[in-house]
Amino acid sequence: MNRSDVIVIGAGISGIYAARELERQGKSVVLLEARDRIGGRLLTKEIHKDVEVDLGGQWIGPTQDNMYALVSEYGAEIQPAYFEGKSVISLNNKRKTYKGLIPPLPITSLLSLDRAIKKINRLSRAVVLDAPWKTPNAKKLDGITLENWMSKNIRFKKAKAIFKIAAETVFATSVADISLLHALVYIKSGNDFDCLINVENGAQQDKIAGGAQSLLKLMIEVLNTKVNLNCAVKEIVQNENGVSAICAHQTFYGKKAIVTVPPAALENIDFSPELPINKKQLISRSFMGSAIKCYALYETPFWKEKGLNGMASNNQGYISVTFDNTNPKHRYGIIIGFVVGDKAKEFVNFTEKKQQNLISKELVHLFGEDAARPIKIHSE
Amino acid sequence: MNRSDVIVIGAGISGIYAARELERQGKSVVLLEARDRIGGRLLTKEIHKDVEVDLGGQWIGPTQDNMYALVSEYGAEIQPAYFEGKSVISLNNKRKTYKGLIPPLPITSLLSLDRAIKKINRLSRAVVLDAPWKTPNAKKLDGITLENWMSKNIRFKKAKAIFKIAAETVFATSVADISLLHALVYIKSGNDFDCLINVENGAQQDKIAGGAQSLLKLMIEVLNTKVNLNCAVKEIVQNENGVSAICAHQTFYGKKAIVTVPPAALENIDFSPELPINKKQLISRSFMGSAIKCYALYETPFWKEKGLNGMASNNQGYISVTFDNTNPKHRYGIIIGFVVGDKAKEFVNFTEKKQQNLISKELVHLFGEDAARPIKIHSE
C-alpha cells in the first residue's frame, strides 16, 4: 500500500525541505512530483559540454540566511559574483560605462532616482509582512499599480527608465501588472529595493557552484523519503480517514498532505472537499511573471579584459539587464541577459533564430564587437 | 464512432449559438458539456414552488439587438422591468427616496458625478473595440486601475460612493481589480456608462419570461446536434487528421473544434499542440469577478404600495444595489440584491443564517419593516 504519515506534493525546494523536517520528527513521507525531475523552479541544465547554467532561480544574497545555512549544512560551495570593473548603461541607445553603483545620469535624474528609491523603501517599511492586508492604507496601496506610483513619483525620464529596468527585473513582470502593495511586500521581504537590485551586498551576490538544483540533489540523497516522479496529482480527497492523493495510475494515502505546487498548478488539482472560495479566487488571480533568461556562451569572458564586469542596463531593445555568469571552473565566458515584462511577451513569439540574432546584436551594442561570436545562445 | 464535422465544447449560449449556425451551413455538430445541465452562465432555478429566478445572467437591454432578435425568433416573451415610483438611496446609512434618474445629492456631488460619467464615456469612445491594445495610450490606460482613475477624477465623496456602487455592480468586481482600459472597453461595448447602469433604456430594462435559460432550451429543441452532458473535456489533440476531444469515458472526433468555455475553465483542458504561450498567459491572468445575487421572496411586492420601484443604492453594509425582480405571473414580490467586490469576498465566508440575517436587516433599512418577513432568502 502507498501509505505514509504525510504526502508532500511537489519536489521543489519547499517540498524537499518539508520532507526533511518531517523525517527529522520521525514521520514517514512520500514525495509526489508531476514532472520527470525534481527541482521545481530550480533548474540547472547543461547548455554546452560541461557548461551548466541555472534556467530557474539562481542567486542568493544577504537576508537569505536560511539559504546560506542550507548550503553550508550540505557542503555545497558558494561562488561569488564577479563585479570588478565597470558596468554599462544604455539609455535610448546611448551607451556609457561607469564604476560603482551610481550610473552617469544628469544630476537631476540621479536625485530623482535616489528620492524614488528612498521613498519606496520608506513605504515598504510600513508593510505588515505576515498579513499585508493589515498594512495601513492596504486597500489604497493595492488599488494602484507600481507604474502609476512611478509616474507620480519620478519626474525625470532617465530616472524613470532606470527604475523601470530594475523593478521589472526584480518583479519579473511589467510594472503595470502589479499593485504597489505587492511591490512593497516584496521589497520589505528582501529588506529594501537596493538590496534586491544590487550584486555586491545584494540579491545577486552569490551562486551555488554546480547550480542551484545541485543543492536539492544533495538534500534528497540523504533522505529516506521516496520521490515519485511523473506522478501528477489529479485529485486530493480528505475525509475522517486521512488524505488520498490520486494520480493517473496510483493513489497515495496519508494522515496529512502538504501541497507545495505554485498557485497556477493548483488549478489542475481537484480538491474534495473543495478549497474555500476565497482561496480559489486568490489562486485564480495569481499569475506567473514573464521573464526570459538568455545565456550567451563565449570562448572567453572577453569583457573582463576590457575592464567591464558584465553588468549592463538597457532601456531599448529586448534585453533590459545583463550580468556576468561565468563559471570560474572552466575557461568560457557567460553573459546572462533578461528579457522581462511586455518585451518578454513579444520576444517569446519570435523564431529561435530571430531571438538569437536580436540577442547577439544587443550584446554587441553593450559589450562591443567581441560579443558577435558566441559559441551558443540559449533562451528559456 | 463519435465523429462529426465540428465538436463544440461548452453548451452555454455561445456553444449553442455556434451549433445552430453550423447546422444551418449543413455541418454535423456534437456539443460537449462538462456540467449536468446546459446553460453555462445562464441558470434559471426554482427557489420556491413555481417561483423561478435567474441565478446567472438575466437582463437584456438596448444595444443588445442580437439578443432581442433571438428572443423574438424563438417566440420567447420579454418582461419589462418595473420602474414606476421612487428609488431609494442610502449613503452612510442616511436613507432618502427620489424620483427619476437623479439622486438627491448636494449639487456639488451631482455635478462631480455628472462630470465623471461624461468623462469616462468620452474616454471610452476612443477605444478600438476589435483591438483594444491599439487604443491611443492603451498601455497607460491599462497601467492604472479604475479606482485610481476615480480618486483622481471624482473629488466629492458622495459622488465617488455612487460611482463606485454603479461600477462595481457593472463590472462585478472591486474597482481596484480592473484596469481603466478594461473598464473603457466594457463601457464602449455597452454603448456608454449610463446605458450600463440604467433600467429604462439601459442594460436592466428587460428580462426573458421563464428565465434566461429557457431561451437556450428553445434553441436546443430545434437542433439536430446531440448534447452530451457530464462530459468534461480533459484533452484536445489536433493533428493532420483533425481534432480529438478526450473525455473521461469517451473520445470525440471532428474536423474542427470550437471551444466556448470561460478562460478559467480552459485551465482544466490539456491542449496538444499547446496553446501559444501568450494565450496561456492571458488565460492565467483572467479571473472571474466576485458577485453574489441575493433573492428575497415576499408574499406581495409591498414596496409598490409604498410608491417604491424596488431599486436602491447603498454604500454601507453588504448589498450595494437592488432591483425589483417580481414576476407579474404570480402574486409574490421579489427583490434582487447584489453583493459585489470585496464585500462579496467577505460575505461568502458567513454561514447561510448570518447571510440571511444581514440581507433582511439591510432590506428593512432600505424598504421598511415589511421587508423583515421574507418567505425565503436565496443567495448564490
Identity of the residue numbered B186: Y
Cell of A2: 502507498
Is the minimum CB–CB distance between A94 and chain B shorter than 8 Å? no
CB contact under 8 A, B348 and A277: yes
CB contact under 8 A, A284 and B264: yes
Residues from chain A contacting residue B277 (CB–CB below 8 Å): 348-349
B82, B326 contact by CB (below 8 A): yes
Indicate where chain B has its CATH 3.50.50.60 domain(s): 4-56+213-285
Mean pLDDT of B265-290: 88
B203, B59 contact by CB (below 8 A): yes
The pLDDT mean for chain A works out to 94
Cell of B139: 498601455
B191, B143 contact by CB (below 8 A): no
Is the minimum CB–CB distance between A282 and chain B shorter than 8 Å? no
pLDDT for res A1: 67
pLDDT in tens, A173-221: 999 999 999 999 999 999 999 999 998 889 999 999 999 999 999 999 9
Is the minimum CB–CB distance between A287 and chain B shorter than 8 Å? yes
Alpha-carbon distance of A340 to A356, in angstroms, equals 16
Q: Does residue A169 surpass a pLDDT of 80?
A: yes
- The one-character DSSP state at A315 is S
Q: CA torsion B197→B199→B202→B205, rounded to 10°? A: 140
Regarding the domain delimited by B4-56+213-285, which CATH topology (the fold level of the hierarchy) does it fall under?
A: FAD/NAD(P)-binding domain (3.50.50)
Q: CB under 8 Å to B194, separation ≥6 — which residues? A: B117, B121, B202
pLDDT for res B181: 97
In terms of DSSP H, where are the helices of A239-351? Answer: 263-266, 277-285, 302-305, 342-347
- Give how far Cα A90 sits from Cα of A134, A161, A316, A377, Å: 40, 10, 8, 22
Nearest to B284 among A147, A278, A288 (CB): A288
- Give how far Cα A178 sits from Cα of A31, A143, A254, B134, B215, Å: 33, 10, 38, 22, 41
pLDDT for res A47: 93
**Half-sphere exposure for A308 (CA within 13 Å, toward CB):** 24
Residues from chain B contacting residue A285 (CB–CB below 8 Å): 177, 287
- The one-character DSSP state at B372 is G
Indicate where chain A has its CATH 3.90.660.10 domain(s): 289-379
For residue B276, is the peptide bond before it cis, meaning its omega torsion is within 30 degrees of 0?
A: no
B279/chain A closest Cα distance in angstroms: 10
Alpha-carbon distance of B303 to B238, in angstroms, equals 57
Mean pLDDT of B143-153: 95
B151/chain A closest Cα distance in angstroms: 10
Indicate where chain B has its CATH 1.10.405.10 domain(s): 103-190
CATH placement of domain B289-379? 3.90.660.10
Q: CB under 8 Å to B178, separation ≥6 — which residues? A: B145, B146, B171
Q: Does residue B364 surpass a pLDDT of 80?
A: yes
Mean pLDDT of B305-309: 96
Mean pLDDT of A71-78: 95
| Residue recorded with cell 533578461 | A338
Mutate to test the interface with A, among B137, B147, B269 (most CBs of A within 10 A): B147
A53, A378 contact by CB (below 8 A): yes
pLDDT in tens, B54-63: 999 999 999 8
Nearest to A142 among B176, B179, B277 (CB): B176
Nearest to A264 among B142, B278, B284 (CB): B284
CB contact under 8 A, B176 and A139: yes
Alpha-carbon distance of B114 to A29, in angstroms, equals 63
Question: In angstroms, what is the C-alpha Rg of chain B?
Answer: 22
Is the minimum CB–CB distance between A137 and chain B shorter than 8 Å? no
Q: CB under 8 Å to B156, separation ≥6 — which residues? A: B106, B108, B109, B112, B113
Interfacial A residues in 219-238 facing B (CB < 8 Å): none
What is the biggest distance separating any 2 CA atoms in chain A, rounded to whole angstroms?
70
Residues from chain B contacting residue A348 (CB–CB below 8 Å): 277-278
Contacts by residues B362-366 (CB-CB < 8 Å, ≥ 24 positions apart): B362/B314, B362/B317, B362/B318, B362/B319, B362/B337, B363/B296, B363/B319, B363/B322, B363/B335, B363/B337, B365/B90, B365/B93, B365/B95, B365/B314, B365/B317, B366/B88, B366/B90, B366/B95, B366/B312, B366/B314, B366/B319, B366/B322
Is the minimum CB–CB distance between B93 and chain A shorter than 8 Å? no
Looking at 1.10.1380.10, 1.10.405.10, 3.30.43.10, 3.90.230.10, the CATH number of the domain B103-190 comes to 1.10.405.10
pLDDT in tens, A17-67: 999 999 999 999 999 999 999 999 999 999 999 899 999 999 999 989 999
Alpha-carbon distance of B299 to B334, in angstroms, equals 9
pLDDT for res B264: 82
**Half-sphere exposure for B219 (CA within 13 Å, toward CB):** 27
User: What is the band of B1 on the pLDDT scale with cuts at 50, 70, 90?
Assistant: low
pLDDT for res B278: 87
Mutate to test the interface with B, among A177, A178, A246, A267 (most CBs of B within 10 A): A267
B96/chain A closest Cα distance in angstroms: 29
pLDDT in tens, A218-264: 999 999 999 999 999 999 999 999 999 999 899 999 999 999 999 88
pLDDT in tens, B314-349: 999 999 999 999 998 888 999 999 999 989 989 999
Is the minimum CB–CB distance between A276 and chain B shorter than 8 Å? yes
Distance of CA B244 to the CA centre of its chain: 32
Mutate to test the interface with A, among B154, B278, B343, B347 (most CBs of A within 10 A): B278
> Whole-prediction pTM value?
0.86
Residues from chain A contacting residue B345 (CB–CB below 8 Å): 278, 281
Please report the ipTM that was assigned to this predicted complex. Answer: 0.79
Please state whether beta strands B78-80 and B206-208 pair in parallel, antiparallel, or not at all (unpaired): antiparallel
Mean pLDDT of A341-353: 92
- Give how far Cα B244 sits from Cα of A58, B227, B230, B345, Å: 40, 17, 17, 39
B61, B206 contact by CB (below 8 A): yes
Cell of B137: 495610450
pLDDT for res A136: 96
